[in-house]
Every structure is written in C-alpha cells, then in structure tokens.
Structure 1
Amino acid sequence: MKNFDITFSKKIKKNRVLFGIASIILSIISIIAESYTQKFIDNAVLVNTKLITKRFVILIVLFMIIFIFVYIKKYLENLLEKRGNFEGQIFIYKNILKKSISFHSKQETGVLLHNITSDIYESMPWYSYGRLQYNLEILNIFIILIFMIYTEVYLSLLVVILIGLSVLLSNKMSKFLGRKTNEKLKVNSELNQFMIEVVKNIGTVVQLNKESFFARKYEDYIEERYKPIIDSLIVGQALYISQLILSQEIMPFLVLFAGMILTIFGNSTIGITIIMMSLTSRISNSVQLIGDLLPKKHSSIEIYNRIKELYDNSADEEDVNKLPVTSFKKLNIEVNEYTFPNKKDSLLNDINLEIKRGDLISLNGESGKGKTTLINLISRFLPTDGLSGKISYNGEDIEGLKINDYYKHVLQVEQNAVLIEGTLKENLLLGDEYLKEDLKEIIYTCCLENFLNTRGIDYHIKEDGKNISGGEKQRIGLARILLRRPDLLILDEVTSALNEEIREEIVKRIINYKEKYNLTLIAISHNNDFKQYSNKTCQL
C-alpha cells in the first residue's frame, strides 16, 4: 500500500505511543472490571455482605479509572486527527510552493484548494492514527475472546437505563460543538482565501525564494487563529464521546446492581451471563470500529494515487544536476514559435533578439500577440514543451540552469502584486534584511514617499491591499522587486494603474535607478512609457 511521503512530528509520534498505551490499559482494566462484576454478583447471590461491599467499592474505583482512560484515549484520538491534518496540510502546502511555476500554470485553483483541504482532511486521519487504531481493535477483540473462552459462557443483554440523562447531556454538548464548528469553518474559509492569493502570485514567491516565508505565515495563522478553536473542539468532542461511552459502561452495572437487590438469592450463573453480554457488546463495538476504518483506509489509498504529484520532490532533485547561474551578460532569444498546451494557434513567430547588459528593451505589439508570453518564457513561468527554439542566458539554455540561482539575477514585476496582511515594511522585505538607505532609495524610486510620510513604514496593509489604492498596490509590488536589484529586470505593465503624472515621474526614476546600477530592462507598457528611453525595440 502506498503511503504519504511525510514524517510526522515527534509530538504526534509521542501521542500515538500514548494512544496505544491508553487503549491497551483500557482493554485490560475493562476485563478486570468485568471479572470483578462477576465476583460482585456471585457474592451477592451468596449474601456475603462484606465481600459485596468490597467488590462494590472496587468496581466504583475501576469505573472511574475507565472513565479517565476513555477520556484520555478520545482526547488523543481527536488530537492526532486534527494535528495530523495540520501537519499534512502544511507539508503539502510547503511542497506546492516549491513546485515550478510551469507546474502551477497547469493547475486549476479550485481543484488545488480541494486537494490541500478536503482531501487531506479525508485521508490524513488514517495515517496519523487510523492504522494504529485498526491494529489495537484487533488486539482488543483477541483479549476479549480469550477471556470469554476462559469463562465458557456467551449471552446478550440490552441496556436501557439512564438513556434520558445521556440524551440531555448529549444535546447540551452538541450545541457547543455546533457553535465551535461554525467558527472553525469561518476561519477555514479565510485560510483558503490566503492560499488562493499566494498561489495566484506564485511567480513572485518563487522568484524571491519566499516559499518558506509564506509557509511560515500560513503556519502562524493556523497557530494564532485556527488552533484555539480546534483546541476547544478537541476538549468538547472528547467530553461528548467519553460521556456516551461512559453511559454504555455504567448502564449494565447499574442494571445488574438493581436486579441483584431484588434477586439476591438467585443462582450462581447470573453473574457469568451478564458479563458475557457486556463482553459481546464490546466485541461488537470493536468490529464496528474496524468496519468504519476500512473505508478510510481505501479512500486514503485512492486520494494518494490522485494527488501524489503534489508531494513528489523529483523536481527539487532534478535542479541539483543543473548549472549554477553567473552575473548577467547577455540573453539570446531564438524562437521559431510557441504553442500553448492543448491549443493549435502559435505565437512568437520568428523572433531573434540579443539583449546585453545595460540594454533597455521595449516590447511592443497589439494585445494577444504574445508579449506577456515571451517575458513569462524568459522568467520561466511557462513550460517550454511548446517552444520551438531556445532562450539562452550567458550562452546556456535557461532550462539547464538552477531555478533558484536564476531568480537571483532575473526577476519579473508582475501585473498583479500579492500583498500580505502586514506592514508596508513587511510587504517590501518579506522577511529579508536590507539597509535603511536601500529601503529609502526604493521608496523614492517607486514614488511611495508620500505614502511613507502620511502613513509610515509600519502602516498595516490589509489582506491583498484592500485598504490601499490599486496604484499604491502596484508601486509596492514594483518596489519589492527593485529592492532585490536584479541584473535583468522584466516589467509587465507596471504603470497600468497609475495616472499620467505619476506614470511619467516613476518611469524617469526607474530609468535613473537602472543607470545607477547598470541594470538591464525588458518593459511592456500599453502606454509605451519606456519606449523613448529604450535602445532596442521588439515588435510582435
């Protein structure tokens, strides 16, 4: 059987050991309680008052111990399920962020989101504790059968006492669980939205090598917002299930106790008959649990086979064998044509262009002619399966270069910048460290000085920049990339959301920044903002 390629944390491993120990102890104590129940009944039949009192006290103590271990077992079971889901989801999410941008271009956001959430929630419980529980239930059946054979009796009995109390308590607990579940779903929808926004802008994430940064943000969100609700659910569910199980445990005993008062001089087989009924009930419960676990086992295998590409690390292994990337000198574009997967029409017909260090290339052409496609190929955002020709960086095919090294020298400013919920400074640095002088220079270059003066570097930006304008969001996205000072800077409509006055000013400042640091620029602009400064043009 295939398994998820995931190593659970030490905490989960420890909790699994405790879960196993608690389950075995619970089985043994339950058998001891059954044995004492038989002795209690037998003593009652013989009217041995001293022994009856002693057995009764022992049974009360045993049932209290059973309650404690039932709670511990159910608490650990819920903890393993929820924590296993978290670790599985975080593992898959981290792996998705490490995937190539061309991989993401082939994915549908809704399907990917379902894989990360629903599929993980459905399959991970089997891996975190289901297999262990399956084996423990088999062991429990084996222990009970040995004891039943030893006593040589089998009977059935239906427990009907205390149902009303159990129903009232269950109703109260279910309302609490319903409220907490609703809170969980609300926060979960916010988590899903965060994931969608990051995946939508995976190009920026991968270029800046910020997979771990966004994974950390996601993990922090879970710990701060999601975990408190889940902790309440774990306690509530443990109490809810344990009180149901406690009712099943204590009802047979109380029925027997009441019955023995009326039939204190009954024959000696009553005790054996009743405990056999109880043991049969226990076996039935274990068989039912195994029956519930088997579908989970099969569905987990099916889910594995469907989403195994998401945690396949072969792409990382392939990158190890690729060439390191040196400082940019020239880029050669020799493209006969490019065809998107599953499409017939081609773009980028007969393009032959050499770009040298310090050049400013203006890409011109009508909409739909392939300008964005070309820069996405250069940025390695698209698969090259449909490319006839090649793109070379310093004489080497870009597909043969280490992707993380490549993005230390080549960066693209995308049309739609992804902004995290955090300060302006956090959105620019993304966890990196830069000199104050560099930060100040970038603020000026991207015409953000008014933003800084009125709101400050620690101004809190809402998720996806909901509390700032489209132009401010676009300039922050530009500033984030310029701060990294790439050798080759690719601009895709970076002034589209700006008014004419700011557009002209920011273009001048970008040009001055380019000249100061001898950067190379490839620019697409619907308004031809960079055309007058370019030394080369490419008409598509």
Structure 2
Amino acid sequence: MNNTRRILKIFESFKKDQYFTLILTFIMTVLTAVVTFQVKTLIDTIMGKGELSDIYSTSALILVITAIIICIDVYTNYFWHNLRHRGMNFMRSKMYKAALYKPITFFKENSSGDVIAKVMDDSSVLGENAVISMPMFWSNIIRLIVVLVVLFMLNISLAILVVLSIPLYYILFNLINARMRKASSNERNAFGKLFSNVQEKINGISETKIYKKENFIFGLFKQDMNRYLKCIKKVVLFNALGMGISGLFTSVLPILVLIYGVFLTYNNVITIGTLIAFYTYLSFLNEPINNLSDFNLGLQRSLGMSDRVLDFLEVEGDNQENKLTIDLFNKIDVKNVTFAYKKNKLVLKDINFSINRGEKIAIIGESGSGKTSLMNLIMGFYQPIKGEILVNKENVYKYSEESLFSKISLLQQNPIIFSGTIKDNILFGENNLEPRLETIIKYTKLGSLVERFEKGLEEEITEEGSNLSGGEKQRISIARAIIREPELLILDEPTSALDVKTEASIVEHLDSYINEKNITMIAITHKPAILSICDKVYHIFDKKLKIYNMQDKIDRSVIMNIVDRLKENEENIS
C-alpha cells in the first residue's frame, strides 16, 4: 500500500465531514453561477432600456442570493477550519500514543528533539493536509467544472481560450513537484535536529550559566540555525515558484480575455452584459486554480514527510498477542548473559545469578560498569547477545509487557516528576490506591512537604518539579514506586539526594514494608544504609559479576571496603 492510501485509511473516520464540506461547496458554487447570469440579465436589461420593474426584481434577487452565499460561506469557513484542527489533533494523538508504546531502545537510538518534532510538528502538517486534501481537491474540481460550464454557456470562443491555458499551467507546476517533495523531506529532518539541539541546550542552562558560556552556546545555536536555513531556503524557493506560476495565470489570462472580449463585442458577437458577466465570473476561476496549486504544494510537502510519520506509527517489537502472563514473580535466573550496545564493546560478560522471591539485592560497581544495563536486561528493555534471562523458568521476552510491568516498580537515578499535583505524581493515574496514601506518606517522610504547601497533596508541581528540592522529588518517586505494592522493586540510587537522617528513616520503613509485602528488591547503590538491609551484594567489575553474602561478616567487610574505594574514586574524579 503506497503512502497516499495509507494516509487516507488513517483518516477514514473524517469521511462524513469531508463529504459535507463538498455539499456546502457545491451549493455555494451553483448559487454564485446563478448570480452571474442574473448580473448579465440585469446589465442587458439596463442597456436595452427594459422595464424598471424587471431591473428592481433582478437586483433584489441578486442581493438575496448573495446574502445566502455569504451565510453559507461563513459557516463553511468555520466548519472547514474546525475540521482542519481536528485532523491535526487527531494525528498528534496517534503519534503521541505510538511514542508511548515504542520500546525503550527506540528512545536510546533517537534524539528526544526529533521525536517531539515528529509528534507535534510533522504530524500536524500531515494531519492538516490529509483531512482537508480530499474535500479541498474535489470542492475545487467542482468549482472548476461549474465555472467552465458557465463560461461556455456565456460564450464558447472566450471559454476555449481559458481552457487552452489550463494545461500549460499544470505542466509548469508539475516540473517542481519532485524537487518540492525532496526539499520538504530534508527540511523536516533538519528541523528535528534543530529542535533536539535547542532542547539539549535549554536542559543544560545551569551549566551554561555557571561556566559563563552564553555566547558560546548562542554561537552553536546560530550555526544550527544556518544549517536549517539552507534547507528551508529550497522549500521557500519552490513555494515561490509555485506562487509565481499561479500569479502568471491569474494576471495574464484576464487581460487576454478582456482584449478578445472587446473584439467580439465590437463585432456584435456578444453583448456588453455577456462580456462583463464573463470577465467578472472569470475571477471565480482563480480561486480553484490557486487552491489546487496550494493543494499540490501541500501534498508534495506532506508526502515528503509522510515516511517519517508513517514509519513512526509502525508498531515495533514483538507482537504482544499469545505471550505469557505472570501470576507471581517467584524467581529470576540470569544465565551466561553477555551484553554489548555496540559490537566488540562488551558491557557485561558471562553473568550468572539467581534471585528468589523476597530477596533484597544490591548492585555496586564503578560508573559505567554496567549496573543500569543489567537492570534494563532484567526488565526486558534490551536483549543479551548471549545467554538468557528467565523469570519463573521462562525467558523474560516470552511475557507480555503489560503482564511483566504490572509486577514491577522502577525508581530511576534521576527522579521523573510530571506536571500535576503531588497526589497525581504519587498515584500516577491509579486513583484506586488512594486509601494507601497516608501510610506511604509516613513511610517516605513526605508529611513535612505536604504541610509546607497550602493545598497539601493537591498542590500543583511546576515544570520539572522546580518548586521541589532534589530530596523531595526523590521521596515522591519512592512513594510512587512502592504504593503499587510491586512484586519486584528496582531502585537506581534511590536515596542519593537525601540527608543521612531522612535516608535512615526511609530505609528503615522501606525494609519493613518490603518484608511485610514479601517484595523482591534490586537496588543500584553504594549507600551503606541500603546495603545494610540487603541479603546479597553483586559487585560488577571488568564486565564480570561477583556475589557477596551480607549475612557473612567477612563478605560484609569486603563489601564495605569496596564501597569506600568506589566512593574515593568518585570523589577523585569529581
């Protein structure tokens, strides 16, 4: 199926509205044609010294029909623009939903700026053109046919002159189509990169300020803008050429018609009323011609970016149907796992371990040693290049994402705070968990935060949690992770932003909560407070993994020495 058919299929639900706009256009076009003939009659009556009553009645009819046309035109414009915006929002929604269901690897391989550009910008252009393209094309074809029929009814010779000029117009226009499509595709790709670079620089505004690099960053932005301008210039050029061709048609043709029409009038072939009516109604040919030109330019631009949008909408990853479901998270087995992001650059090699339900495991190692990669493998975000990860003796990739993730809670190293209230951020759409809020707030020491705000849990959090401290963000994220009562709790440096006293209290409550609910915990951390509640510690070093038993005094001592050394190395690096 080619791109045009795929796009039309996506927008099938808009067909009734599209047909309705065609009906409105047809009615308005017919009424306009009636007015033209009435104008001819009026002028010929005046020139022929006709009855005054006929002049009055014809004038009144023209005014009534014109008023009706105006009313229909206003409503058509309202309906048309409403349909256009609905199409844009419809496509944005589809793209945003597609983004949410992309595998995590997709976001590792594609810049967030390019993803946002596709979701918000490419989709709106394609959505707008897709939803109005069919009614725009056919409504203007209808107008074109009606106008030509009326012109032929007025005078065949003048109408033939008009018809002969139309093919020349479209021949010239088609010369720029392929170039326009390619230029539009290149412009969209360049815009995605520009968007990504701007987002990156805005996210790093603190570093820019601290190092006093405003001018340097602005210089990089100007370079990015210049690269983008080179691409947009080609699009603007082809748009200008298209408009120039339209201008040539709408400017030269009326002059030729007027000259030829005067000649026919002079030789008494047509009346002055016919010439005025023909010349006046000829202007109604300009709108459908220009609209079809705009349609063509918009179509080429849409087709130029259609691959980006349609590829984005494709479902990636394995089909989730007929996959296994998890009743209980009993055991994790990692067998001979080797992993690399790039060939010949191993991150983990021949990793083996087992985790039973209810165990508390810590993973330690230097920065970049593969701790987070190991967590991503366990959650099924990535696949190992060798070995397998089993959950309840079945390969983790055999389980549906919905079933697997319903048993897991994840707290990332940099806590994610969403716009909305404090309560919204904890419940995360699961309002049925609200009865647990009081207990969770106590466990995560959020009481002081709730009391600090006038609206308490209903306080709105500003963008990216700018009205919260790092520790408060972390505690909200911990609350979000444990309120679900997951069977597997994965924590990545969960207390890095907490003071010692708060950390100790939260870890104590967390330990009792995990034991009470029989939750399996895996934590990436070097913090002694969390290490003290763990059953085992996995040390990743030189792509290998060694297991230490925290119940053994010698192992515990070795771990604490390793942690001290890791902390010292991190301080030296910083």
Aligned equivalent of 2:134, options 121, 131, 137: 131
Matched, 1:527 2:527: yes
Partner Cα distance (2:458, 2:9) in 1:
38
Secondary structure of the 1:325 match is: coil
Contact residue 427 and residue 433 of structure 2 kept, 8 A: no
Aligned CA RMSD, in angstroms, stands at: 2.8
Which residue is 1:313 aligned to? 315
- For 2:341, the aligned partner's letter is F
Aligned equivalent of 1:275, options 274, 277, 283: 277
Contact residue 155 and residue 273 of structure 1 kept, 8 A: no
Partner Cα distance (2:285, 2:434) in 1:
70
Matched, 1:101 2:99: no
| Shift, 1:28, TM fit | 0.2
Secondary structure of the 1:318 match is: coil
CA deviation profile, 1:343-374 (whole Å, cap 9, x unmatched)? 64211122111000111111011111010111
Matched, 1:18 2:20: yes
Secondary structure of the 1:521 match is: strand
Partner Cα distance (1:65, 1:434) in 2:
55
Alignment of 1:256-405 (within 5 A): 269-313=271-315, 315=317, 318-341=319-342, 344-381=344-381, 383-384=382-383, 387-405=385-403
| Shift, 1:95, TM fit | 1.9
After superposing on structure 2, the runs of 4+ consecutive aligned residues of structure 1 that deviate more than 4 Å are: 5-10, 153-156
Contact residue 361 and residue 536 of structure 1 kept, 8 A: yes
Aligned equivalent of 2:59, options 56, 61, 73: 56
Contact residue 363 and residue 371 of structure 1 kept, 8 A: yes
Partner Cα distance (1:306, 1:377) in 2:
29
Alpha-carbon spacing, 1:119–1:394, altered in 2? closer, same or farther (3 Å): same
Contact residue 364 and residue 539 of structure 1 kept, 8 A: yes
Alpha-carbon spacing, 1:484–1:6, altered in 2? closer, same or farther (3 Å): farther
| Shift, 1:291, TM fit | 1.2
- For 1:117, the aligned partner's letter is M
- For 2:362, the aligned partner's letter is S
CA deviation profile, 1:308-338 (whole Å, cap 9, x unmatched)? 23222365x7001211122011101124421
Which residue is 1:508 aligned to? 508
Alpha-carbon spacing, 1:314–1:367, altered in 2? closer, same or farther (3 Å): closer
Aligned equivalent of 2:405, options 397, 407, 411: 407
Alignment of 1:98-177 (within 5 A): 98-153=101-156
| Shift, 1:436, TM fit | 5.2
Matched, 1:92 2:90: no
Identity %: 27
- For 2:397, the aligned partner's letter is E
Which residue is 1:170 aligned to? none
| Shift, 1:8, TM fit | 5.0
Which residue is 1:466 aligned to? 466
Partner Cα distance (2:127, 2:458) in 1:
40
| Shift, 1:442, TM fit | 1.2
Alignment of 1:19-98 (within 5 A): 19-48=21-50, 49-98=52-101
| Shift, 1:380, TM fit | 2.6
Alpha-carbon spacing, 1:321–1:128, altered in 2? closer, same or farther (3 Å): same
Alpha-carbon spacing, 1:269–1:364, altered in 2? closer, same or farther (3 Å): same
Partner Cα distance (2:446, 2:157) in 1:
82
| Shift, 1:514, TM fit | 0.7
Contact residue 493 and residue 525 of structure 1 kept, 8 A: yes
| Shift, 1:6, TM fit | 6.5
Secondary structure of the 1:538 match is: strand
Secondary structure of the 2:65 match is: helix
| Shift, 1:14, TM fit | 4.7
| Shift, 1:441, TM fit | 1.7
The TM-score, its normalising length taken from structure 1, stands at 0.75
Partner Cα distance (1:361, 1:300) in 2:
52
| Shift, 1:126, TM fit | 2.1
Contact residue 45 and residue 268 of structure 1 kept, 8 A: no
Partner Cα distance (1:417, 1:13) in 2:
45
Secondary structure of the 1:53 match is: helix
- For 1:31, the aligned partner's letter is A
Contact residue 336 and residue 351 of structure 1 kept, 8 A: yes
Unpaired runs of 5+ residues, structure 1, are 157-191, 201-247, 253-265
Between 1:416-425 and 1:111-120, the stretch displaced more is 416-425
CA deviation profile, 1:183-234 (whole Å, cap 9, x unmatched)? xxxxxxxxx99xx99xx9xxxxxxxxxxxxxxxxxxxxxxxxxxxxxxxxxx
Partner Cα distance (2:385, 2:483) in 1:
32
- For 1:329, the aligned partner's letter is N
- For 2:311, the aligned partner's letter is E
Secondary structure of the 1:468 match is: coil
Computing the radius of gyration over CA atoms, which structure comes out larger, 1 or 2? Answer: 2
Alpha-carbon spacing, 1:493–1:5, altered in 2? closer, same or farther (3 Å): farther
Alpha-carbon spacing, 1:311–1:66, altered in 2? closer, same or farther (3 Å): same
CA deviation profile, 1:243-288 (whole Å, cap 9, x unmatched)? xxxxx9xxx9xxxxxxxxxxxxx99701111111123222232122
Secondary structure of the 1:529 match is: helix
Contact residue 153 and residue 272 of structure 1 kept, 8 A: no
Alignment of 1:439-450 (within 5 A): 439-450=437-448
- For 2:418, the aligned partner's letter is I
Which residue is 2:559 aligned to? none
Partner Cα distance (1:303, 1:528) in 2:
53
Between 1:371-380 and 1:445-454, the stretch displaced more is 445-454
Secondary structure of the 2:339 match is: strand
The TM-score, its normalising length taken from structure 2, stands at 0.71
Aligned residues: 435
Between 1:319-328 and 1:30-39, the stretch displaced more is 319-328
Partner Cα distance (1:123, 1:8) in 2:
11
